[in-house]
Structure 1
Amino acid sequence: MTDKKDDVYGDHISHKFNDELMDLKSEFLKMGGMVESQVERAIHALVENDGHLADEVRAGDKKVDRMEMDIDEEATLIIARRQPTARDLRLVISVIKMVADLERVGDEAKKIAKFAIKLSEEGQAPRGYVEVRHIGDHVLSMLRDALDAFARLDSEQALRIMKEDKRVDEEYQAATRSLLTFMMEDTRNISRCMSVMWVLRALERVGDHACNIAENVIFMVKGEDVRHTPVEEAEKVVGR
Protein backbone atom coordinates (compact mmCIF):
# COMPACT_ATOMS: atom_id res chain seq x y z
CA MET A 1 0.00 0.00 0.00
CA THR A 2 1.04 3.62 -0.47
CA ASP A 3 2.81 5.19 2.49
CA LYS A 4 0.17 7.84 3.13
CA LYS A 5 2.09 9.59 5.88
CA ASP A 6 4.94 10.21 3.44
CA ASP A 7 2.80 10.95 0.37
CA VAL A 8 3.21 14.73 0.32
CA TYR A 9 4.73 15.24 -3.12
CA GLY A 10 2.85 17.85 -5.06
CA ASP A 11 1.44 19.56 -1.92
CA HIS A 12 2.83 23.09 -2.11
CA ILE A 13 1.65 26.67 -1.81
CA SER A 14 2.98 27.28 -5.32
CA HIS A 15 0.66 25.63 -7.83
CA LYS A 16 3.36 26.06 -10.45
CA PHE A 17 5.75 23.96 -8.38
CA ASN A 18 3.03 21.32 -7.97
CA ASP A 19 2.59 21.24 -11.74
CA GLU A 20 6.33 20.95 -12.37
CA LEU A 21 6.67 17.97 -10.04
CA MET A 22 3.60 16.29 -11.53
CA ASP A 23 4.95 16.85 -15.04
CA LEU A 24 8.29 15.34 -14.02
CA LYS A 25 6.57 12.22 -12.64
CA SER A 26 4.35 11.99 -15.71
CA GLU A 27 7.26 12.20 -18.15
CA PHE A 28 9.20 9.59 -16.19
CA LEU A 29 6.24 7.19 -16.32
CA LYS A 30 5.80 7.90 -20.02
CA MET A 31 9.43 6.96 -20.63
CA GLY A 32 8.94 3.88 -18.47
CA GLY A 33 6.06 2.77 -20.66
CA MET A 34 8.18 3.36 -23.74
CA VAL A 35 11.10 1.19 -22.59
CA GLU A 36 8.75 -1.52 -21.31
CA SER A 37 7.25 -1.68 -24.80
CA GLN A 38 10.73 -1.77 -26.34
CA VAL A 39 11.71 -4.83 -24.29
CA GLU A 40 8.41 -6.58 -24.96
CA ARG A 41 8.65 -5.99 -28.71
CA ALA A 42 12.30 -7.05 -28.82
CA ILE A 43 11.45 -10.36 -27.15
CA HIS A 44 8.58 -10.86 -29.58
CA ALA A 45 10.88 -10.11 -32.53
CA LEU A 46 13.33 -12.73 -31.30
CA VAL A 47 10.94 -15.59 -30.61
CA GLU A 48 8.84 -14.92 -33.73
CA ASN A 49 11.89 -14.49 -35.97
CA ASP A 50 10.68 -11.00 -36.99
CA GLY A 51 13.66 -9.01 -38.27
CA HIS A 52 11.48 -6.08 -39.35
CA LEU A 53 10.11 -5.59 -35.82
CA ALA A 54 13.63 -5.87 -34.43
CA ASP A 55 14.71 -3.05 -36.76
CA GLU A 56 11.88 -0.89 -35.40
CA VAL A 57 13.02 -1.54 -31.84
CA ARG A 58 16.58 -0.52 -32.67
CA ALA A 59 15.36 2.67 -34.33
CA GLY A 60 13.20 3.47 -31.29
CA ASP A 61 16.24 3.64 -29.03
CA LYS A 62 16.95 7.18 -30.25
CA LYS A 63 13.59 8.33 -28.89
CA VAL A 64 14.40 6.77 -25.52
CA ASP A 65 17.73 8.63 -25.42
CA ARG A 66 15.96 11.88 -26.26
CA MET A 67 13.44 11.37 -23.47
CA GLU A 68 16.26 10.78 -20.98
CA MET A 69 17.91 14.06 -21.92
CA ASP A 70 14.63 15.98 -21.74
CA ILE A 71 13.75 14.63 -18.29
CA ASP A 72 17.27 15.32 -17.00
CA GLU A 73 16.98 18.90 -18.20
CA GLU A 74 13.54 19.30 -16.63
CA ALA A 75 14.78 17.96 -13.29
CA THR A 76 17.86 20.18 -13.35
CA LEU A 77 15.71 23.25 -14.01
CA ILE A 78 13.46 22.39 -11.06
CA ILE A 79 16.49 22.21 -8.77
CA ALA A 80 17.82 25.52 -10.10
CA ARG A 81 14.50 27.38 -9.95
CA ARG A 82 12.87 25.93 -6.85
CA GLN A 83 15.83 24.81 -4.73
CA PRO A 84 13.70 21.97 -3.33
CA THR A 85 14.38 20.53 0.09
CA ALA A 86 13.73 17.25 1.91
CA ARG A 87 11.15 15.04 0.16
CA ASP A 88 10.95 17.17 -2.98
CA LEU A 89 14.69 17.02 -3.45
CA ARG A 90 14.62 13.24 -2.96
CA LEU A 91 11.97 12.98 -5.66
CA VAL A 92 13.91 15.03 -8.19
CA ILE A 93 17.25 13.33 -7.47
CA SER A 94 15.61 9.90 -7.61
CA VAL A 95 14.04 10.65 -10.98
CA ILE A 96 17.45 11.63 -12.36
CA LYS A 97 18.87 8.31 -11.15
CA MET A 98 15.90 6.22 -12.27
CA VAL A 99 15.74 7.75 -15.72
CA ALA A 100 19.30 6.55 -16.25
CA ASP A 101 18.13 3.03 -15.39
CA LEU A 102 15.28 3.34 -17.89
CA GLU A 103 17.71 4.45 -20.58
CA ARG A 104 19.83 1.38 -19.89
CA VAL A 105 16.75 -0.83 -20.11
CA GLY A 106 16.25 0.70 -23.55
CA ASP A 107 19.85 -0.22 -24.38
CA GLU A 108 19.17 -3.83 -23.35
CA ALA A 109 16.10 -3.90 -25.61
CA LYS A 110 18.30 -2.67 -28.44
CA LYS A 111 20.79 -5.50 -27.77
CA ILE A 112 18.01 -8.07 -27.84
CA ALA A 113 16.78 -6.62 -31.13
CA LYS A 114 20.31 -6.84 -32.55
CA PHE A 115 20.47 -10.57 -31.77
CA ALA A 116 16.94 -11.03 -33.10
CA ILE A 117 18.13 -9.63 -36.44
CA LYS A 118 21.23 -11.83 -36.36
CA LEU A 119 19.17 -14.97 -35.70
CA SER A 120 16.57 -14.05 -38.30
CA GLU A 121 19.42 -14.07 -40.83
CA GLU A 122 21.25 -17.16 -39.54
CA GLY A 123 18.22 -19.23 -38.55
CA GLN A 124 16.74 -19.63 -35.09
CA ALA A 125 18.71 -21.34 -32.34
CA PRO A 126 17.54 -24.86 -31.44
CA ARG A 127 17.24 -24.06 -27.72
CA GLY A 128 16.64 -21.22 -25.29
CA TYR A 129 13.41 -19.59 -26.46
CA VAL A 130 11.27 -21.02 -23.66
CA GLU A 131 13.73 -19.56 -21.16
CA VAL A 132 13.73 -16.20 -22.98
CA ARG A 133 9.94 -16.01 -22.76
CA HIS A 134 9.90 -17.04 -19.10
CA ILE A 135 12.63 -14.70 -17.88
CA GLY A 136 11.33 -11.96 -20.19
CA ASP A 137 7.86 -12.17 -18.63
CA HIS A 138 9.42 -12.12 -15.16
CA VAL A 139 11.57 -9.02 -15.65
CA LEU A 140 8.80 -7.17 -17.52
CA SER A 141 6.53 -7.80 -14.55
CA MET A 142 9.22 -6.42 -12.25
CA LEU A 143 9.61 -3.32 -14.42
CA ARG A 144 5.84 -2.68 -14.50
CA ASP A 145 5.62 -3.13 -10.74
CA ALA A 146 8.57 -0.78 -10.18
CA LEU A 147 6.89 1.93 -12.25
CA ASP A 148 3.63 1.34 -10.39
CA ALA A 149 5.44 1.55 -7.04
CA PHE A 150 6.89 4.89 -8.15
CA ALA A 151 3.49 6.20 -9.27
CA ARG A 152 1.89 5.23 -5.95
CA LEU A 153 4.93 5.85 -3.70
CA ASP A 154 4.55 2.28 -2.49
CA SER A 155 7.66 1.19 -0.59
CA GLU A 156 6.22 -2.23 0.27
CA GLN A 157 5.75 -3.07 -3.41
CA ALA A 158 9.26 -1.77 -4.09
CA LEU A 159 10.58 -4.17 -1.46
CA ARG A 160 8.82 -7.09 -3.16
CA ILE A 161 10.61 -6.21 -6.40
CA MET A 162 13.97 -6.29 -4.61
CA LYS A 163 13.16 -9.82 -3.45
CA GLU A 164 12.24 -10.90 -6.98
CA ASP A 165 15.68 -9.94 -8.29
CA LYS A 166 17.29 -12.96 -6.60
CA ARG A 167 14.79 -15.29 -8.31
CA VAL A 168 15.62 -13.80 -11.71
CA ASP A 169 19.33 -14.35 -11.05
CA GLU A 170 18.64 -18.00 -10.23
CA GLU A 171 16.50 -18.45 -13.36
CA TYR A 172 19.21 -16.85 -15.49
CA GLN A 173 21.92 -19.10 -14.08
CA ALA A 174 19.80 -22.22 -14.62
CA ALA A 175 19.04 -21.20 -18.22
CA THR A 176 22.68 -20.53 -19.07
CA ARG A 177 23.78 -23.86 -17.55
CA SER A 178 21.21 -25.65 -19.68
CA LEU A 179 22.38 -23.90 -22.85
CA LEU A 180 26.03 -24.55 -22.09
CA THR A 181 25.32 -28.25 -21.64
CA PHE A 182 23.47 -28.33 -24.95
CA MET A 183 26.32 -26.55 -26.76
CA MET A 184 28.87 -29.03 -25.41
CA GLU A 185 26.73 -31.88 -26.69
CA ASP A 186 26.21 -30.33 -30.14
CA THR A 187 28.94 -27.87 -31.14
CA ARG A 188 27.29 -27.08 -34.49
CA ASN A 189 24.91 -24.67 -32.75
CA ILE A 190 27.36 -22.74 -30.58
CA SER A 191 27.08 -19.43 -32.45
CA ARG A 192 23.29 -19.29 -32.40
CA CYS A 193 23.04 -20.52 -28.81
CA MET A 194 25.56 -17.88 -27.74
CA SER A 195 23.26 -15.23 -29.23
CA VAL A 196 20.43 -16.53 -27.05
CA MET A 197 22.73 -16.47 -24.01
CA TRP A 198 23.47 -12.80 -24.65
CA VAL A 199 19.73 -12.16 -24.84
CA LEU A 200 19.24 -13.90 -21.49
CA ARG A 201 22.01 -11.74 -20.04
CA ALA A 202 20.28 -8.61 -21.34
CA LEU A 203 17.01 -9.68 -19.71
CA GLU A 204 18.78 -10.35 -16.41
CA ARG A 205 20.12 -6.80 -16.58
CA VAL A 206 16.58 -5.46 -17.14
CA GLY A 207 15.67 -7.12 -13.83
CA ASP A 208 18.66 -5.42 -12.18
CA HIS A 209 17.50 -2.01 -13.41
CA ALA A 210 13.95 -2.66 -12.20
CA CYS A 211 15.45 -3.46 -8.80
CA ASN A 212 17.45 -0.20 -8.89
CA ILE A 213 14.23 1.75 -9.54
CA ALA A 214 12.58 -0.03 -6.61
CA GLU A 215 15.48 0.92 -4.34
CA ASN A 216 15.07 4.54 -5.33
CA VAL A 217 11.34 4.40 -4.58
CA ILE A 218 12.20 3.30 -1.03
CA PHE A 219 14.66 6.19 -0.80
CA MET A 220 11.98 8.64 -1.96
CA VAL A 221 9.43 7.40 0.54
CA LYS A 222 11.58 6.53 3.55
CA GLY A 223 14.57 8.83 3.08
CA GLU A 224 17.08 5.99 3.49
CA ASP A 225 19.42 4.64 0.82
CA VAL A 226 19.01 0.86 0.56
CA ARG A 227 21.38 0.34 -2.36
CA HIS A 228 24.02 -2.32 -1.66
CA THR A 229 21.91 -3.28 1.37
CA PRO A 230 20.74 -6.83 2.16
CA VAL A 231 17.02 -7.31 1.61
CA GLU A 232 16.63 -8.05 5.32
CA GLU A 233 17.91 -4.56 6.17
CA ALA A 234 15.67 -2.98 3.52
CA GLU A 235 12.70 -4.77 5.15
CA LYS A 236 13.48 -3.01 8.42
CA VAL A 237 13.61 0.38 6.66
CA VAL A 238 10.26 -0.20 4.93
CA GLY A 239 8.67 -1.46 8.15
CA ARG A 240 9.47 1.71 10.09
Structure 2
Amino acid sequence: MPNKKDDVYGDHISHKFNNELTELKTQFLNMGGLVESQVERAVQALVDGDGHQAEDVRAGDKRVDKMEVDLDEEATLIIARRQPTARDLRLVIAVIKMVADLERVGDEAKKIAKMAIKLSEEGQAPRGYVEIRHIATHVLSMLHDALDAFARLDSEQALRVMKEDKRVDEEYQAAARTLLTFMMEDTRNISRCMSVMWVLRALERVGDHACNIAENVIFMVKGEDVRHTPVEEAEKVVGR
Protein backbone atom coordinates (compact mmCIF):
# COMPACT_ATOMS: atom_id res chain seq x y z
CA MET A 1 0.00 0.00 0.00
CA PRO A 2 1.28 3.51 -0.73
CA ASN A 3 2.13 5.76 2.16
CA LYS A 4 -0.47 8.37 3.06
CA LYS A 5 2.14 11.03 2.46
CA ASP A 6 2.30 9.80 -1.16
CA ASP A 7 -1.45 10.25 -1.71
CA VAL A 8 -1.13 13.75 -3.11
CA TYR A 9 -3.97 13.74 -5.63
CA GLY A 10 -7.19 14.62 -3.86
CA ASP A 11 -10.50 16.16 -4.88
CA HIS A 12 -10.97 19.49 -6.59
CA ILE A 13 -13.61 22.14 -6.27
CA SER A 14 -14.62 21.39 -9.86
CA HIS A 15 -16.38 18.03 -10.05
CA LYS A 16 -15.87 18.04 -13.81
CA PHE A 17 -12.12 18.48 -13.38
CA ASN A 18 -12.08 15.48 -11.02
CA ASN A 19 -13.87 13.43 -13.65
CA GLU A 20 -11.45 14.50 -16.38
CA LEU A 21 -8.40 13.48 -14.34
CA THR A 22 -10.02 10.21 -13.33
CA GLU A 23 -10.89 9.44 -16.94
CA LEU A 24 -7.33 10.26 -18.03
CA LYS A 25 -5.92 7.83 -15.47
CA THR A 26 -8.46 5.16 -16.42
CA GLN A 27 -7.67 5.44 -20.12
CA PHE A 28 -3.96 5.24 -19.38
CA LEU A 29 -4.42 2.06 -17.34
CA ASN A 30 -6.59 0.57 -20.09
CA MET A 31 -3.82 1.23 -22.59
CA GLY A 32 -1.33 -0.30 -20.16
CA GLY A 33 -3.45 -3.43 -19.87
CA LEU A 34 -3.63 -3.71 -23.65
CA VAL A 35 0.12 -3.46 -24.27
CA GLU A 36 0.79 -5.86 -21.41
CA SER A 37 -1.49 -8.35 -23.13
CA GLN A 38 0.16 -7.67 -26.50
CA VAL A 39 3.61 -8.59 -25.16
CA GLU A 40 2.31 -11.68 -23.38
CA ARG A 41 0.43 -12.94 -26.47
CA ALA A 42 3.37 -12.22 -28.77
CA VAL A 43 5.72 -14.29 -26.59
CA GLN A 44 3.18 -17.10 -26.35
CA ALA A 45 2.75 -17.07 -30.13
CA LEU A 46 6.50 -17.34 -30.52
CA VAL A 47 6.88 -20.25 -28.10
CA ASP A 48 3.86 -22.10 -29.53
CA GLY A 49 4.81 -21.43 -33.14
CA ASP A 50 1.37 -19.87 -33.59
CA GLY A 51 1.56 -17.61 -36.62
CA HIS A 52 -2.15 -16.75 -36.49
CA GLN A 53 -1.93 -15.35 -32.96
CA ALA A 54 1.20 -13.45 -33.93
CA GLU A 55 -0.73 -11.86 -36.80
CA ASP A 56 -3.47 -10.84 -34.34
CA VAL A 57 -0.85 -9.11 -32.19
CA ARG A 58 0.51 -7.22 -35.19
CA ALA A 59 -3.00 -6.11 -36.14
CA GLY A 60 -3.66 -5.02 -32.54
CA ASP A 61 -0.85 -2.47 -32.73
CA LYS A 62 -3.19 -0.10 -34.58
CA ARG A 63 -5.43 -0.02 -31.52
CA VAL A 64 -2.45 0.85 -29.34
CA ASP A 65 -1.53 3.70 -31.67
CA LYS A 66 -5.08 5.07 -31.58
CA MET A 67 -5.14 4.98 -27.78
CA GLU A 68 -1.88 6.95 -27.73
CA VAL A 69 -3.34 9.65 -29.98
CA ASP A 70 -6.58 9.82 -27.96
CA LEU A 71 -4.75 10.10 -24.64
CA ASP A 72 -2.39 12.77 -25.93
CA GLU A 73 -5.36 14.76 -27.19
CA GLU A 74 -7.23 14.44 -23.89
CA ALA A 75 -4.17 15.47 -21.87
CA THR A 76 -3.60 18.49 -24.13
CA LEU A 77 -7.24 19.54 -23.74
CA ILE A 78 -6.99 19.32 -19.95
CA ILE A 79 -3.95 21.60 -19.98
CA ALA A 80 -5.71 24.07 -22.30
CA ARG A 81 -9.05 24.08 -20.42
CA ARG A 82 -7.92 23.79 -16.82
CA GLN A 83 -4.40 25.23 -16.82
CA PRO A 84 -3.42 22.82 -14.03
CA THR A 85 -0.64 23.67 -11.62
CA ALA A 86 1.67 21.82 -9.25
CA ARG A 87 0.53 18.23 -8.58
CA ASP A 88 -2.16 18.19 -11.28
CA LEU A 89 0.24 19.46 -13.91
CA ARG A 90 2.75 16.78 -12.88
CA LEU A 91 0.06 14.14 -13.34
CA VAL A 92 -0.87 15.29 -16.84
CA ILE A 93 2.74 15.71 -17.96
CA ALA A 94 3.68 12.30 -16.54
CA VAL A 95 0.79 10.65 -18.37
CA ILE A 96 1.89 12.20 -21.67
CA LYS A 97 5.41 10.82 -21.15
CA MET A 98 4.24 7.41 -19.98
CA VAL A 99 1.82 7.05 -22.90
CA ALA A 100 4.82 7.33 -25.22
CA ASP A 101 6.51 4.49 -23.31
CA LEU A 102 3.40 2.33 -23.56
CA GLU A 103 3.22 2.92 -27.31
CA ARG A 104 6.84 1.80 -27.62
CA VAL A 105 6.08 -1.32 -25.58
CA GLY A 106 3.38 -2.00 -28.16
CA ASP A 107 5.99 -1.59 -30.89
CA GLU A 108 8.23 -4.13 -29.17
CA ALA A 109 5.31 -6.58 -28.99
CA LYS A 110 4.81 -6.08 -32.72
CA LYS A 111 8.50 -6.86 -33.34
CA ILE A 112 8.24 -10.06 -31.28
CA ALA A 113 5.13 -11.06 -33.24
CA LYS A 114 6.99 -10.47 -36.50
CA MET A 115 9.81 -12.76 -35.34
CA ALA A 116 7.22 -15.33 -34.17
CA ILE A 117 5.77 -15.45 -37.69
CA LYS A 118 9.22 -15.79 -39.25
CA LEU A 119 10.28 -18.58 -36.89
CA SER A 120 6.98 -20.45 -37.18
CA GLU A 121 7.40 -20.54 -40.97
CA GLU A 122 10.93 -21.92 -40.60
CA GLY A 123 9.77 -24.85 -38.47
CA GLN A 124 12.09 -26.28 -35.81
CA ALA A 125 12.47 -24.13 -32.71
CA PRO A 126 15.98 -22.76 -32.13
CA ARG A 127 17.82 -22.38 -28.86
CA GLY A 128 16.88 -19.53 -26.57
CA TYR A 129 13.20 -20.16 -25.87
CA VAL A 130 13.88 -20.92 -22.19
CA GLU A 131 15.66 -17.58 -21.88
CA ILE A 132 12.81 -15.82 -23.72
CA ARG A 133 10.24 -17.24 -21.30
CA HIS A 134 12.34 -16.24 -18.30
CA ILE A 135 13.04 -12.65 -19.39
CA ALA A 136 9.46 -12.19 -20.63
CA THR A 137 8.09 -13.19 -17.23
CA HIS A 138 10.46 -10.74 -15.56
CA VAL A 139 9.73 -7.71 -17.74
CA LEU A 140 5.96 -8.35 -17.76
CA SER A 141 6.08 -8.38 -13.96
CA MET A 142 7.95 -5.06 -14.04
CA LEU A 143 5.41 -3.53 -16.41
CA HIS A 144 2.48 -4.75 -14.33
CA ASP A 145 4.05 -3.43 -11.12
CA ALA A 146 4.84 -0.06 -12.72
CA LEU A 147 1.20 0.33 -13.83
CA ASP A 148 0.02 -0.74 -10.39
CA ALA A 149 2.35 1.82 -8.80
CA PHE A 150 0.73 4.47 -11.00
CA ALA A 151 -2.78 3.34 -10.07
CA ARG A 152 -2.00 3.44 -6.35
CA LEU A 153 0.46 6.37 -6.41
CA ASP A 154 2.98 4.09 -4.76
CA SER A 155 6.45 5.58 -5.08
CA GLU A 156 8.03 2.73 -3.11
CA GLN A 157 6.75 0.13 -5.54
CA ALA A 158 7.93 2.31 -8.43
CA LEU A 159 11.40 2.32 -6.87
CA ARG A 160 11.35 -1.49 -6.70
CA VAL A 161 10.62 -1.59 -10.44
CA MET A 162 13.60 0.68 -11.09
CA LYS A 163 15.84 -1.68 -9.13
CA GLU A 164 14.79 -4.64 -11.29
CA ASP A 165 16.06 -3.02 -14.50
CA LYS A 166 19.68 -3.90 -13.77
CA ARG A 167 18.77 -7.56 -13.25
CA VAL A 168 16.98 -7.68 -16.60
CA ASP A 169 20.04 -6.19 -18.31
CA GLU A 170 22.22 -8.90 -16.74
CA GLU A 171 19.79 -11.65 -17.80
CA TYR A 172 19.73 -10.30 -21.35
CA GLN A 173 23.53 -10.21 -21.57
CA ALA A 174 23.82 -13.77 -20.22
CA ALA A 175 21.24 -15.06 -22.72
CA ALA A 176 23.00 -13.25 -25.58
CA ARG A 177 26.33 -14.86 -24.64
CA THR A 178 24.70 -18.31 -24.61
CA LEU A 179 23.22 -17.80 -28.07
CA LEU A 180 26.50 -16.43 -29.42
CA THR A 181 28.29 -19.58 -28.25
CA PHE A 182 25.65 -21.74 -29.91
CA MET A 183 26.03 -19.86 -33.19
CA MET A 184 29.80 -20.26 -33.12
CA GLU A 185 29.43 -24.02 -32.63
CA ASP A 186 27.24 -24.42 -35.69
CA THR A 187 26.95 -21.63 -38.27
CA ARG A 188 23.71 -23.15 -39.63
CA ASN A 189 21.99 -21.76 -36.54
CA ILE A 190 23.03 -18.15 -37.10
CA SER A 191 19.89 -16.90 -38.86
CA ARG A 192 17.41 -18.42 -36.41
CA CYS A 193 19.47 -17.47 -33.37
CA MET A 194 19.67 -13.90 -34.60
CA SER A 195 15.86 -13.82 -34.69
CA VAL A 196 15.81 -14.99 -31.07
CA MET A 197 18.37 -12.31 -30.22
CA TRP A 198 16.02 -9.66 -31.65
CA VAL A 199 13.22 -11.01 -29.44
CA LEU A 200 15.43 -10.88 -26.36
CA ARG A 201 16.44 -7.33 -27.23
CA ALA A 202 12.79 -6.33 -27.61
CA LEU A 203 11.99 -7.79 -24.19
CA GLU A 204 14.92 -5.96 -22.62
CA ARG A 205 13.50 -2.74 -24.08
CA VAL A 206 10.11 -3.51 -22.50
CA GLY A 207 11.92 -3.58 -19.16
CA ASP A 208 13.48 -0.19 -19.95
CA HIS A 209 10.06 1.31 -20.68
CA ALA A 210 8.64 -0.15 -17.47
CA CYS A 211 11.50 1.53 -15.63
CA ASN A 212 10.69 4.84 -17.36
CA ILE A 213 7.07 4.58 -16.22
CA ALA A 214 8.24 3.92 -12.66
CA GLU A 215 10.47 7.01 -12.78
CA ASN A 216 7.51 9.11 -13.85
CA VAL A 217 5.39 7.74 -11.01
CA ILE A 218 8.04 8.97 -8.58
CA PHE A 219 7.98 12.35 -10.33
CA MET A 220 4.19 12.49 -9.97
CA VAL A 221 4.23 11.63 -6.29
CA LYS A 222 7.41 13.33 -5.08
CA GLY A 223 7.75 16.19 -7.55
CA GLU A 224 11.37 15.33 -8.36
CA ASP A 225 12.74 14.05 -11.66
CA VAL A 226 14.77 10.89 -11.03
CA ARG A 227 15.58 10.13 -14.66
CA HIS A 228 19.28 9.65 -15.44
CA THR A 229 20.07 9.44 -11.72
CA PRO A 230 21.48 6.45 -9.81
CA VAL A 231 18.94 4.24 -8.06
CA GLU A 232 20.54 5.26 -4.76
CA GLU A 233 19.54 8.89 -5.39
CA ALA A 234 16.01 7.86 -6.32
CA GLU A 235 15.87 5.92 -3.07
CA LYS A 236 16.63 9.09 -1.12
CA VAL A 237 13.86 10.96 -2.97
CA VAL A 238 11.30 8.25 -2.22
CA GLY A 239 12.37 8.11 1.43
CA ARG A 240 11.69 11.80 2.03
TM-score normalised per structure 2: 0.99
Q: Give the aligned partner of residue 84 of structure 1.
A: 84
Could you tell me the percent identity over the aligned residues? 88
Q: Give the aligned partner of residue 31 of structure 2.
A: 31
The answer to which of 107-116 and 123-132 deviates more is: 123-132
Shift of 1:3: 3.3
Q: Give the aligned partner of residue 102 of structure 2.
A: 102
Matched, 1:167 2:167: yes
Runs of 4+ aligned structure 1 residues displaced above 3 Å come to: none
What SS class does the counterpart of residue 32 from structure 1 fall into? helix
Which residue type is aligned with residue 48 of structure 2? E
Q: Give the aligned partner of residue 214 of structure 1.
A: 214
1:12-27 correspondence to structure 2 within 5 Å? 12-27=12-27
Shift of 1:10: 4.4
Matched, 1:54 2:51: no
Shift of 1:37: 0.2
Which residue type is aligned with residue 179 of structure 2? L
Question: What count of residue pairs does the alignment treat as equivalent?
Answer: 240
Shift of 1:125: 3.5
Shift of 1:9: 1.9
Q: Would you say the 8 A contact 2:8–2:221 is kept in 1?
A: no
Q: Would you say the 8 A contact 1:10–1:19 is kept in 2?
A: no
Matched, 1:227 2:239: no
Which residue type is aligned with residue 132 of structure 2? V
Shift of 1:126: 2.4
Shift of 1:163: 0.3
Q: Would you say the 8 A contact 2:9–2:87 is kept in 1?
A: yes
Which residue type is aligned with residue 135 of structure 2? I
Q: Would you say the 8 A contact 2:6–2:155 is kept in 1?
A: no
Deviation digits for residues 127-185 of structure 1 (CA, Å, limit 9, x no counterpart): 00000000000000000000000000000000000000000000000000000000000
Which residue type is aligned with residue 236 of structure 2? K
Q: Would you say the 8 A contact 1:108–1:202 is kept in 2?
A: yes
Which residue type is aligned with residue 120 of structure 2? S
Shift of 1:2: 1.2
Which residue type is aligned with residue 195 of structure 1? S
Gaps of 5+ in 1: none
TM-score normalised per structure 1: 0.99
1:106-117 correspondence to structure 2 within 5 Å? 106-117=106-117
Q: Would you say the 8 A contact 1:94–1:216 is kept in 2?
A: yes
Gaps of 5+ in 2: none
Distance 2:47 2:135 in 1: 13
Distance 1:41 1:88 in 2: 35
Deviation digits for residues 164-218 of structure 1 (CA, Å, limit 9, x no counterpart): 0000000000000000000000111110010000000000000000000000000
Q: Would you say the 8 A contact 2:6–2:154 is kept in 1?
A: no
Q: Would you say the 8 A contact 1:3–1:221 is kept in 2?
A: no
Which residue type is aligned with residue 180 of structure 2? L
Deviation digits for residues 70-98 of structure 1 (CA, Å, limit 9, x no counterpart): 00000000000000000000000000000
